[in-house]
A and B are shown apart, each in its own frame.
Chain A
Amino acid sequence: MAAAPAVAADAVLPSLASNAKRGVTPRTRSALLFAGLAVALVAGIVISAGAGQLPVPPHEVWNSLLRGLGLSDAPEALPNTDSALWNIRFPRIAMALLIGAALAMAGTVMQAIFANPLAEPGVVGVSSGAALGAAAAIVLGWTAFGDWVTAVAAFAAGLGATLVVYLASRAGGRTEVVTLVLTGIAINAFAGGALAFLTFIGDTGSREEIVFWQLGSLNGARWPEVAVMLPLVIVAGTAALLLGRTLDLFSLGERGARHLGVRVEAVRIVSIVVVAVLVCSAVAFAGIIAFVGLIVPHLMRMVIGPAHRPLLVASALGGAVLLLFADLAARTMVPMADLPIGMLTSIIGGPFFFWLLRRTRRRSGGWG
């Protein structure tokens, strides 16, 4: 036992030294991050609920929230506040949070099983695959069987696209950047062509719906959609968190993970289903919103490191905050217009992806 303190000191000293260099301990960094995200989340909800054609001051947002929950019977200060907030803004905010969390977690899981930080549902074509499924359901009239058919078609096509990317882009248990990006180009090209064809043969109503799916928007999000999305995000998100430790081991490559007792095939299948559920439910309700799954996990990883359990939680929060503010911008940037949110995330995400690509290339000394 005499040796134990020496070992402990040995293990602590180097980490102390490097913490002194960085100024804060990893634990402090992660506490600061989560506190910052929580503040941004609450602030974002209040600002977003208050902004719009009918401006509502923060305390009125709060009162309306309490009234809706049956916790207050204070009268409305402005007429129509409650109906504007509870029928339109609150469900839209809830949807933005859920979809942001879903996309960011999907990106995190995808990057883990591809063992590549550039994997993202939009980039590799899962989102456009899902959009294609939704568009096919609309144009081919399958929606006659019920509204949920669109979502199911989006899910099936998105799952198919995920499988294709996974099978096509891996070699020796890893995914090279070039292969991944090229596979994404191929799938996006195919889905783009098929969407164009559906747009061409569809009637005016279908065309508008397809355009909505391609550009992405939270316009029209209501409570019933939230009620479908919420359980999906909870179930898939919990599954992702339970896989967290195992996902860490995938960083060693599939062979390395297997040597440590991971049932690689099983984890892979579960992960792909988790990604498909998260992305496809998001696409089914809001269309293609690309790059959230790329930007958010990457930024979070820079702050709290790559361990997947905390990373998934931080990404879910970060994705929710990002989409909340992106949707606020989409609603308010241009007066009297609702910009497509997918357009906004792509305008920001495209250059970000480019920067990441350059960085990855520089680090690995090539396109490996």
Chain B
Amino acid sequence: MRPAPDAMALTAAGLAVEIDGVRLLDAVDFSATPARVHALIGPNGAGKSTLLAALAGDRAAASGTVHLGGTPVARQSPKALARLRAVLTQEHTVSFPFPVREIVAMGRHPWAGSAAAEHDDREIDAAMAATDVSHLAARTVPSLSGGERARVALARVIAQRTPVLLLDEPTAALDLKHQEDVLRLARDHAAAGATVVVVLHDLNLAAAYADDITLLRHGRVVATGAPADVLTAERIEAVYGQPVEVVPHPRTGVPLVLPVR
């Protein structure tokens, strides 16, 4: 894995986001640093996707700021942002029956006309191989399964080749092996210097793959830090309303979150 173009921190300070007068995020302080995987967790409606959208520059802040590489995202042009961060959303619909390879190639659009465009084909092939969709190159999206669509969308995001990756539930539609593959891929990118922020529902995946975890509830940060510090049984029970046991993995020592059944 070659190093990412520029290491880049992504931070939010005192961030509040409102939609139709409803405050979805309030006083959120967040910091994702290069070469680390930062997981966002929390119950449904906690504001994870909203935070990701705000970090991506999709949602304007009602108050507070989001900085990418030291510059407010609100002040960067769509094109400049597209060269700095790639976003995997939860929706992977494609309106017209483009062949898979053309969809992945769309990820290279921000680099059109730049020196990096020279590597388009190589980046596309590499991204498709990394997400295990090379064999689908000539297929069209409507003919793919949900999991295949999700991986094609991920391949497009990887092909964009940005120093910051924002992934909203990248494992949602995937089988066991592909879930692990995707998070290994996120780890590889972090190892190469990328800043990775990933929304996850599976606390065990978060514990196993993230360097940092931020736990959200009702649009506020409940805790942020190393997995072992954030994932305590009392806190998870308080936030999710579900009693759990947290035990260290017998071999790796990573916290395992087990619902009390």
Q: Assuming the A-B contacts A245-B109, A255-B89, are A260 and B82 also in contact, with contact meaning beta carbons closer than 8 angstroms in the complex?
A: yes
Contacts of A256 in B (CB 8 A): 89
Q: Is A252 a contact partner of B134 (Cβ separation < 8 A)?
A: no
* Subset of 13 A-B contacts with CB under 8 Å: A14-B134, A15-B101, A116-B95, A174-B95, A245-B109, A248-B102, A253-B93, A253-B95, A255-B91, A260-B109, A261-B77, A261-B79, A305-B97
Would you call A249 an interface residue if the criterion is a C-beta within 8 Å of the partner chain's C-beta atoms? Answer: yes
Q: Is B83 a contact partner of A248 (Cβ separation < 8 A)?
A: no
**Residues of chain A at the chain B interface (Cβ within 8 Å):** 4, 7-8, 10-11, 14-15, 17-19, 115-117, 174, 245, 248-253, 255-256, 258-264, 301, 305-307, 363
Q: Assuming the A-B contacts A252-B106, A261-B78, A263-B78, are A115 and B137 also in contact, with contact meaning beta carbons closer than 8 angstroms in the complex?
A: no
List of 8 A-B pairs having minimum Cβ-Cβ separation, nearest first: A261-B82, A306-B96, A261-B79, A115-B95, A18-B138, A261-B110, A15-B138, A251-B95
Closest Cβ of chain B to A8, distance in Å, is: 8
Q: Is B106 a contact partner of A259 (Cβ separation < 8 A)?
A: no
Q: Is A306 a contact partner of B137 (Cβ separation < 8 A)?
A: no
Counting chain B residues whose Cβ lies within 8 A of the other chain, the interface size class is: 35 or more
Q: Assuming the A-B contacts A251-B95, A256-B89, are A307 and B102 also in contact, with contact meaning beta carbons closer than 8 angstroms in the complex?
A: yes
Q: Is B95 a contact partner of A260 (Cβ separation < 8 A)?
A: no
Contact with A along B76-117 (1 / 0, CB 8 A): 011111110011010101111111011100110110100000
Q: Assuming the A-B contacts A14-B134, A14-B138, A249-B109, are A262 and B78 also in contact, with contact meaning beta carbons closer than 8 angstroms in the complex?
A: yes
Cα of A22 to Cα of B134 in the assembled complex, Å: 19
Majority secondary structure, A binding face: helix
Contact with A along B117-139 (1 / 0, CB 8 A): 00001100110110000111111
Contacts of A248 in B (CB 8 A): 98, 102, 106
Q: Is B125 a contact partner of A260 (Cβ separation < 8 A)?
A: no
Cα of A79 to Cα of B130 in the assembled complex, Å: 74
Contacts of B83 in A (CB 8 A): 261
Q: Is A117 a contact partner of B78 (Cβ separation < 8 A)?
A: no
Q: Is A14 a contact partner of B136 (Cβ separation < 8 A)?
A: yes
Would you call B58 an interface residue if the criterion is a C-beta within 8 Å of the partner chain's C-beta atoms? Answer: yes
Cα of A252 to Cα of B96 in the assembled complex, Å: 9
Q: Assuming the A-B contacts A260-B106, A261-B83, are A15 and B98 also in contact, with contact meaning beta carbons closer than 8 angstroms in the complex?
A: no
